[in-house]
Structure 1
């Protein structure tokens, strides 16, 4: 039987918040941002993959972007985070994958960065990798995705519409006892006399008592509270790394709105970066007193609210766009199935 085509939250008649979205309602509404997936659905034992986020299409190691990192509950692994906290900048694409593939993702980012023209003398790279554990649907011990497969996700990254649901790093994830995955959303806000875009992409793999646009959604697995989520924020607003950290922290507001349990076993991570040319960390700016022009503290609140709304909607899109997956529970050694959220039930909320 053919599964019902999946739809995004707004296609189901529900909206989150009041701020308008970008044209695609995706992180790629921020100009220059590209997303790449490698999705591995092979038999019943392999349901995993990788998702790459590229802030711009140039040499990121040479033209670094300011970034901020935030943790709510740190039960997880986020490679490269300490240097982001220390220096406030991003010098590689961001890769999301499964827990045991973090090392392979670092190697893929190293290979990609070293291969770029202008990096012939580079001897140290701060590869940035986030993860969640997809072992409830995937044989995580089988060492997939490979280094080569992850590098493919990086090199195939594109702008435009972003595939969501059980794709990329979301192939085997579970949220609220339902099939989770990759989701995205965006907001366009006015700050002073200018308009800026905020985009969010999430890898949902956590639990709690699900709320859909403020309405409770009853699931069979309301006891399912542990897990993790990674939330990536992109904006074209010129922000310093300190305010980007504050932007990243607002993801947790959107996360809470979905009914997250925020349990002991949850890894809740957020990373925000700015693509604005005026704050880019170019080689010239890194050699001297920076002439970067950034928004002041007093005007950034609209961006904070935009992140909260976009995060909540991105999470819900990760659920509504995911299809039912039957896989392999590496912890029990038995087959497992996680159903997609019911679109009919959402329409009736």
Structure 2
């Protein structure tokens, strides 16, 4: 069977997990990315500069911002049904309270480092005011912004992410194939003591005579090497080299933010159910939700535009797939999250950051030997 090029390589030519014949379940979308969901776009701004000893405010810098735009700009005023779930709340996802309250949100999602989360949230409001002033001139907004910690490699207290960087990520957002690895908010992230960061995947789900797409995007920054698992094989104990500097003493300071998008029609309580299955995909790779890990998840649907903007005084209607038929979408959640995490690891290279702290990439030679 011929595998499409976007399934094997990122746009810049970095390998993805399928490049090494790692087997996955389910049917991936044409680009195997969250952007397979029509209307969803992803943009990055990556900040890498400086080497050597940490000089707060000067660097070294290993960070950035990711922007996920859930609808085309001309439709950003239309809310999306959504549900969120916090497996372990040692982290931040702004806008989560109103999602819990009303089951909907609008505006782009940003993901960055822990100490820049407020910057990306506020910059999103400024961007919306610039591109769609009609949406916010007489209203208010609560954008979704998530974070994970990159202080092992990055001058996190230097606050290098600016509003202008957020604007760039939003303006550069594209549909179709997207980059993975050390890009955007994932630039300084680590998973199971290997270099990780941004990853994505998608699945086609058949229901009755229709086909729907479900896509996942992760900013992956969690776990201990001893737990790393690839397709059911606990490979971490065999991968003792190359070592992360201070690997034996470094406590986990990681997290994972995962965003699920689908064009399948679901109600908010169903999307919350989807979000609750994300930890199962993380567990497939060896993530156990440790104490200091902020594991926070959001699922949204691009369907039901009319239902989400119901007018006062009229009965509202919304389509939804029955709960009794939801299991194939649970399968897709586990499959896409697992693959997105592995893509974030595979599409990566060694990185040295502040104070010479070194994080190795998952060895490509080992992948070739064990998977092909």
1:300-342 deviation digits (Å, cap 9, x = unpaired): 11011101000000000000001111111xxxxx221101111
SS of 2:48's partner is: strand
SS of 2:318's partner is: coil
**Do 1:49 and 1:145's aligned partners in 2 also have CA atoms closer than 8 Å?**
yes
**C-alpha RMSD over aligned residues:** 1.7
1:214-272 deviation digits (Å, cap 9, x = unpaired): 22223435886441000000001011111011111111110011011311111111101
* Residue 289 (structure 1) aligns with: 315
1:166-196 deviation digits (Å, cap 9, x = unpaired): 0001100111111111000001011222111
Candidates 308, 319, 342, aligned match of 2:363: 342
Distance change in 2, residues 1:286/1:117 (3 Å)? farther
* Residue 47 (structure 1) aligns with: 62
* Residue 9 (structure 2) aligns with: none
**Do 1:226 and 1:264's aligned partners in 2 also have CA atoms closer than 8 Å?**
no
Which of the two has greater strand per residue? 1
Give ranges in structure 2 of 5+ residues lacking alignment. Answer: 1-12, 52-59, 241-246
Q: How does 1:161-200 map to 2 (within 5 A)?
A: 161-200=177-216
* Residue 301 (structure 2) aligns with: 274
CA–CA distance in structure 2, aligned partners of residues 131 and 278 of structure 1: 28
Matched, 1:304 2:304: no
CA–CA distance in structure 2, aligned partners of residues 60 and 88 of structure 1: 18
TM normalised by structure 2 equals 0.87
CA–CA distance in structure 2, aligned partners of residues 267 and 286 of structure 1: 38
Matched, 1:37 2:53: no
CA–CA distance in structure 2, aligned partners of residues 266 and 279 of structure 1: 37
* Residue 122 (structure 1) aligns with: 138
TM normalised by structure 1 equals 0.92
Distance change in 2, residues 1:119/1:278 (3 Å)? closer
Matched, 1:106 2:127: no
Shift of 1:110: 0.9
**Do 1:325 and 1:337's aligned partners in 2 also have CA atoms closer than 8 Å?**
yes
Aligned length: 338
Which of the two has greater helix per residue? 2
CA–CA distance in structure 1, aligned partners of residues 96 and 167 of structure 2: 20
Distance change in 2, residues 1:22/1:325 (3 Å)? same
Candidates 157, 161, 180, aligned match of 1:145: 161
Give ranges in structure 1 of 5+ residues lacking alignment. Answer: 329-333
1:133-168 deviation digits (Å, cap 9, x = unpaired): 101110011112111111211122110101000000
**Do 2:32 and 2:200's aligned partners in 1 also have CA atoms closer than 8 Å?**
yes
Distance change in 2, residues 1:347/1:142 (3 Å)? same
